[in-house]
Amino acid sequence: MRLILLACLLFFFTGSQAVAQTTAQRAQKAAAAEKQLQQTRARIKALADEQKKIEAERSAASKALREVDGKVSGTQRSLHTLEAQIAEQQKALEDLREKRLALERSLSRQRAELATLIRSAYALGRHEQLKLLLEQDRMSDLARVLAYHRYFQRDRQLRITGISAELQSLAQVGEQIEAKQAELVAARDKRKSELATLAEQRRERGKVVSSLDSKFRDRKARITALGRDEKSTVVLLERLRKLMAQMPKPVAKPGKPGKPGGSAKPSLKPSGIGSAMIPTGPLKLPLAGSMLAGFGGVMPDGHKSQGWLIAGNPGAEVHAVSAGRVAYADWLKGYGLLIILDHGNGYMTLYAFNDALLKNAGDLVKAGEAISTVGSSGGQGRSALYFELRRNGQPQDPRSWLGK
- Tens-level pLDDT at each residue, the chain (404 residues): 555 555 555 555 555 555 556 777 777 766 766 666 676 667 666 766 665 665 554 466 667 777 878 888 888 888 888 888 888 888 888 888 888 788 788 777 877 777 776 676 666 555 555 454 445 555 555 556 556 666 666 776 777 777 778 778 778 877 888 888 888 888 888 888 887 887 787 777 777 766 766 665 555 555 555 555 667 777 788 887 877 777 666 544 444 444 433 433 333 333 344 444 444 446 789 999 999 999 999 888 777 899 999 999 998 999 999 999 999 999 888 888 999 999 988 899 999 999 889 999 889 999 999 999 999 888 788 899 999 999 988 999 998 887 55
Q: How many residues does the chain have?
A: 404
**pTM for this prediction:** 0.61
Please report how the helices 219-226 and 139-215 are oriented relative to each other, as an axis angle in degrees rounded to 10. 130
In words, the CATH class of domain 227-249+282-400 is mainly beta
Query: SS3 for 342?
Result: strand
Rg over CA atoms, the chain: 34
Burial 178-208 (b: 16+ CB within 10 A, else e): eebeeebeebeeebeebeebbeebbeebeeb
